[in-house]
């Protein structure tokens, strides 16, 4: 099994071979070593908000850094990788997008991680989809998308998750189609059996925040199902 440095090296090579100057692409979101036995939340791809990054740079005491230039691909030779990871950590701490992740993990006394299927930074999902999805009906990926998905699978294998919650409708379709996932009619949930060493429950969902988010009661049922599958109890707030 390869380590996270080797996986990120392949990710950088993929960007080098795909994007040149003037393409408008941003540097990929590098993977971090996942905490084993966590709840893994899976998204489609990371968004990019210059306004959001500026806010985080204020928190990081680096208001001198322009986020658009900082993340622009090809990255400058003096790219500050430590700052990039610090900003990602701040985003997970302060962005509303991650609030449901933290709430469920805290209620179940478990660590959590978020891993995107694709590392391409783009707020407009339709643009990202054009680059990574070849045929949505057949759930086939482009070569660019296929290579990223394989890297995602390596990171997921390193994580050895307690459970996976896919929090994007398109990402759910792709995950279900491309992993060995079976539905347990007795338990009423899906099980990821892609690994011969261990399986884990997986839950397919739409967004948990934003304009297209699940309604409150659908989210309540989802969280209850995750807790129940892990032998724990979850109750909604009054």
pLDDT greater than 80 at residue 9: yes
Instruction: Name the CATH architecture for the domain at 4-229.
Output: 3-Layer(aba) Sandwich (3.40)
Q: Tell me: the pLDDT tens digits for 155-200?
A: 999 999 999 999 999 999 999 999 999 999 999 999 999 887 889 9
Question: Percentage of the chain surpassing pLDDT 70?
Answer: 98
| 155 neighbors 7 (Cβ within 8 angstroms) | yes
| Angle between helices 125-132 and 143-159 in degrees, nearest 10 | 100
Could you give the CA distance from residue 62 to residue 106 in angstroms, rounded to a whole number?
Answer: 30
Residue 30 host element (H or E): none
Q: Tell me: the pLDDT tens digits for 56-101?
A: 888 888 888 888 888 889 876 667 878 888 888 888 888 889 999 9
The DSSP secondary structure of 168-226, one letter per residue, reads SHHHHHHHHHHS-EEEETTTTEEEE--SSS--EEEEEE--SSSTTPPPHHHHHHHHHHH
Residue 221 phi/psi, 5-degree rounding, is -65, -40
pLDDT score of 238: 47
Could you give the CA distance from residue 235 to residue 223 in angstroms, rounded to a whole number?
Answer: 9
Q: Tell me: the pLDDT tens digits for 109-158?
A: 999 999 999 999 998 889 999 999 999 999 999 999 999 999 999 999 99
Q: Which of 3-17, 22-36, 162-176 has the lowest mean pLDDT?
A: 22-36
Structural domain spans, the chain: 4-229
- Which conformational region is residue 24 in: left (phi greater than 0), alpha (psi within -120 to 50 degrees), or beta? left
């Amino acid at each position: 099994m390869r380590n996270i440095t080797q996986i990120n090296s392949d990710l950088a090579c993929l960007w080098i071979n795909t994007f040149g100057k003037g393409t408008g692409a941003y540097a990929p979101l590098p993977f971090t070593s996942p905490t084993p036995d966590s709840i893994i939340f899976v998204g489609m791809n990371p968004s990019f908000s210059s306004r959001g990054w500026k806010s985080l740079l204020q928190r990081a005491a680096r208001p001198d850094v322009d986020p658009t230039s900082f993340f622009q691909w090809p990255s400058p030779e003096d790219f500050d990788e430590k700052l990039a990871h610090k900003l990602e950590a701040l985003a997970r701490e302060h962005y509303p997008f991650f609030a449901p992740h933290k709430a469920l993990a805290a209620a179940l006394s478990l660590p959590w991680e978020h891993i995107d299927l694709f590392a391409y930074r783009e707020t407009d999902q339709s643009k990202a989809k054009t680059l990574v999805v070849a045929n949505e009906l057949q759930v086939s990926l482009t070569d660019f998308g296929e290579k990223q998905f394989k890297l995602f699978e390596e990171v997921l294998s390193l994580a050895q998750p307690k459970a996976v919650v896919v929090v994007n409708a398109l990402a759910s379709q792709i995950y279900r189609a491309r992993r060995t996932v079976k539905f347990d009619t007795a338990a009423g949930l899906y099980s990821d059996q892609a690994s011969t060493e261990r399986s884990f429950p997986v839950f397919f969902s739409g967004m948990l925040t934003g304009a297209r988010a699940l309604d409150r009661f659908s989210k309540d049922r989802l969280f209850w199902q995750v807790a129940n599958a892990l032998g724990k109890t979850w109750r909604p707030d009054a």
